[in-house]
Structure 1
């Protein structure tokens, strides 16, 4: 199948989706005359319920950003420190790779959580990041990741 999946906004749910659908729709092959009968069909196993929701793009971006801060370090008053440490925005940009919708939503969720924990006066991540300790910043990141997971985004 040669379906164009490079269309903007297209996100494949499952790579094998079409192949599975066609296998289900194709009639069972008829045996050739004189051939042995096929074995009896086996009932499919009951579906297994997933207990953990799949990670969404926003949750993944936030988790990758926090991992970046843990690995390379956190900094205030600078997007990127010469030693590689970054502020919260720098870590988000490193995690997302580009200003994608997931990057924007992760930033909005992070700012919303910062406002929940530290007051409504914060209107931008850089000023909030520069005014708080490493522990306070980490607490907001962790809470934002949990919220993204609960929201399945």
Structure 2
């Protein structure tokens, strides 16, 4: 099979395309150069660091600890008549209801209490009532850090 290739090209008038485009778009071409336009303002967009949202568990734990700081911490009572609460009472106040955040925050708090004070603790109230305020606060702070690192 033989393919014949022609190398003779027909000359085309270079103004032909300009004339055709002028017919399609009759906008007159500028006759005199226009004055240079002022440079457009440059917008600088700075990349902001990604926003990290606080998870429901971290928020519940943080709010509960703030509640204890504001109203006081108590032993042997869910709510003391003068306002202080035990750890579970503070969790309930912070969560507002027995929802998933309340349950998960309580589980994380109890797990942290077991890590710091032994596996014998069956519940938050029994652990809360058997320790000092400083020991309880240490567990709260560690639980908040864990929730933060877990992004929950």
Equivalent residues in 2 for 1:27-106, closer than 5 Å = 45=45, 47-50=47-50, 53-106=52-105
Give the paired residue count: 114
CA distance in 2, matches of 1:148, 1:66: 14
Runs ≥4 residues deviating over 4 A: none
User: CA distance change for structure 1 residues 104 and 44 in 2, over 3 Å: closer, same or farther?
Assistant: farther
SS class of match (2:92):
helix
TM-score, structure 1 as length reference: 0.69
1:67 and 1:144 mapped to 2: Cα distance?
A: 14
CA distance in 1, matches of 2:142, 2:84: 21
Equivalent position of 2:20 in the other structure: none
Determine the C-alpha separation between the residues in 1 that align with 2:127 and 2:67.
19
* Corresponding position of 1:128: 127
Which structure has the larger Rg over C-alpha atoms?
2
Cα distance in structure 2, aligned partners of 1:74 and 1:48: 39
**Shift of residue 123 of structure 1?**
1.4
Deviations 1:109-128 (A, max 9, x none): 00000000000111110100
Secondary structure of 1:143's match? helix
SS of residue in 2 equivalent to 1:84: coil
Please provide the CA RMSD for this pair: 1.9
Q: Match of 1:137?
A: 136
**Structure 1: gaps (5+ residues):** 1-39
* 3-state DSSP of counterpart to 2:69: helix
Query: For 1:48-73, what per-residue CA distance to the aligned partner results, in whole angstroms no more than 9, with x for missing partners?
Result: 222x6221110000000000001101
Tell me the equivalent position of 1:10.
none
